[in-house]
Amino acid sequence: MNGQDFLRISNEAFVPFLKQLGFSVDKPSISGRYYRVSFTGSAYYILVSYEPGDEVFFTMIFTRKDGKLSNIDNRAETLRLADLNNRYMTVVTIQERLENERFFESIKTNDRDERHLLKIAKELRLVLPKYIHCKDVPSN
């Protein structure tokens, strides 16, 4: 996956549903060391990043208070996608999963990294609304 592919998947997979949730798209950053896209909402900031040299993805959900972002090292306030998956994926219904697959069915991927980025978008679309709107679901 190159930088253009990262941007294509980001624009096709993340932007539509995050805009529906009230997030705006920030200017992406593509360099030789990382590809990064971020989304700003009134109470949250989402960062999706890929480091091509290490083939590592990062997806973090920061909280925003008084215009400031939560500390990246504070896992209680800056969650990773894995944290949201652990907390909310068990309450995702079969119907939600089927609708989610339909939402993304037109997006084409060309390699393993593109498929992984699409998988991140699919998971985020299932669990982020539950985190934003239903924080009373108990943590595992």
* Residue 140 maps to a domain: no
Confidence at 32, pLDDT banded by 50, 70, 90: confident
* Residue 30 maps to a domain: yes
Question: How many other CB atoms sit within 10 Å of the CB of residue 53?
Answer: 8
* Residue 138 maps to a domain: no
* Residue 126 maps to a domain: yes
When divided into structural domains, the chain yields a total of 1
Q: Does position 135 have pLDDT exceeding 70, yes or no?
A: no
Host domain of residue 50: 3-133
Q: Does position 136 have pLDDT exceeding 70, yes or no?
A: no
What confidence score (pLDDT) does residue 50 get? 97
Cα-to-chain-centroid distance, residue 64: 16
Cα-to-chain-centroid distance, residue 102: 18
End-to-end CA distance of the chain: 34
* Residue 79 maps to a domain: yes
Cα angle, residue 23 at apex, residues 20 and 26 outer, rounded to 5°: 130
pTM of the model: 0.92
Round the average pLDDT of the chain to a whole number and report it: 93
Question: How many other CB atoms sit within 10 Å of the CB of residue 108?
Answer: 10
* Residue 139 maps to a domain: no
- Listed in order, strand segments (DSSP E) in 3-117 are 24-25, 29-30, 35-40, 44-51, 56-65, 68-69, 78-80
